Amino acid sequence: MMGVIGARDASGRQVETLRPGVLRAGLRATVLAAALALAACSGDKDDLVLDDTPADQLYNEGLAYVQVGNLRAAAKSFEKLDQIHPYSEYARKAMVMNAYVQYSRGDYSEAINSARRFVTLYPGSPDAAYALYIIGQSYYNQVPDVTRDQEMAAKALAAMEELVNRYPDSEYSEDARKKILAMRNQMAGKEMEIGRFYLTRHDYIAAINRFRVVVTQYQQTNHIEEALARLVECYYALGIVPEAQTAAAILGHNFPDSSWYKSSYELLKTGGYSPQENTSSWISKAFANFKIF
């Protein structure tokens, strides 16, 4: 079963390295045998004319190179196989293995392209879920901190959601679900950061628009309590008391022990108000089917 292991890139940033799920137990003997064959004829390798090399030999060479950690040579073997035996079963296998190799080398754009091509051509393959996981992980390892643009987070989220939706019982789906939550938290965090920025400038309408995104799209994240409290603050500052009361009531109903609720309650209390839900409010409608995560 494929998993992930910790690693760091050249800049020292933590990334996740895949273990090749397609290297299943049944292939290990083949890989080791191919590795021995490579060792025996390594002196003649430079003179080998690959154009006439059988598909199975190229594939086994690629697997053997992966096994010994020579990813550059592995990529060349898999790419050559795809070029000269494009319609073979080995070419199909090589395509997803090449995506894994590219991912492992940090060539994320190439890995994404190779894996996406595989999913497009072979959506019914047992390895299609693995290819989607490579796509998601390739984007995931490029996600920056929350202060920067979150395009990669959105793409990682989309890939992982596609994996879970298309292959819900895949061995990769459990980790994909964790990544989905992480990316949704990341994107909600970005909205909160921008909303707080507008709030400090007393641009309450702009701030509300950002907090509204969190409330309507990212309810199942750890930013939801603060988003509701910030809506109380913004609406109260604008004199739109019913909306402030509704946000506070929703916050208190779902998170009664939250420090954000306590601060919202105290804010309303300064004007002689208390939390009270207006069921016609967009906030109330957004929480109609809410379940605490």
In a domain, 136, yes or no: no
Q: How far is CA 86 from CA 81, 95, 260, in A?
A: 7, 10, 59
Task: Answer yes or no: are the C-beta atoms of 119 and 111 closer than 8 Å.
Answer: no
Helices (H), the chain: 25-40, 55-68, 71-84, 89-104, 108-121, 128-140, 151-166, 173-200, 204-217, 224-238, 241-254, 259-270, 282-286
Between 52 and 206, the more confident residue is 206
CATH code of the domain covering residue 264: 1.25.40.10
The answer to whether residues 106 and 218 belong to one domain is: no
Q: Name the domain boundary from 98, 125, 152.
A: 125
Q: Name the domain boundary from 76, 101, 125.
A: 125
Number of domains in the chain: 2
Q: Which two tokens stand for residue 272?
A: 């002689």
The answer to whether residues 19 and 120 belong to one domain is: yes
Task: Answer yes or no: are the C-beta atoms of 19 and 5 closer than 8 Å.
Answer: yes
In a domain, 148, yes or no: no
| pLDDT value, residue 18 | 72
Over residues 142-178, the pLDDT tens digits come to: 999 988 999 999 999 999 999 999 999 999 999 999 9
In a domain, 230, yes or no: yes
| pLDDT value, residue 52 | 73
Q: What is the mean pLDDT of the chain?
A: 86
The answer to whether residues 214 and 121 belong to one domain is: no
Over residues 25-54, the pLDDT tens digits come to: 334 444 444 444 444 444 444 444 446 788
Mean pLDDT score, 213-224: 95
Asked whether the predicted pLDDT for residue 206 surpasses 90, the reply is: yes
Beta bridge partners of 258: none
In a domain, 141, yes or no: no
The CA-based dihedral angle spanning residues 154, 160, 161, 164, taken in that order and rounded to the nearest 10 degrees: 180
The answer to whether residues 201 and 282 belong to one domain is: yes
In a domain, 214, yes or no: yes
Q: Which domain holds residue 18?
A: 4-39+49-125
> Which residue has 């641009």 as its token pair?
203
The answer to whether residues 195 and 118 belong to one domain is: no
> Which residue has 């920067």 as its token pair?
148
| pLDDT value, residue 27 | 46
Q: Name the domain boundary from 83, 101, 125.
A: 125
Cβ-based burial of 128 (10 A; exposed 0-12, middle 13-18, buried ≥19): buried
In 3D, which of 68, 66, 82 has the Cα closest to residue 21? 66
Angle at 68 between CA 60 and CA 8, to 5 degrees: 125
Helix 204-217, helix 173-200: angle, nearest 10: 160
| pLDDT value, residue 4 | 45
pTM recorded for the entire structure: 0.78
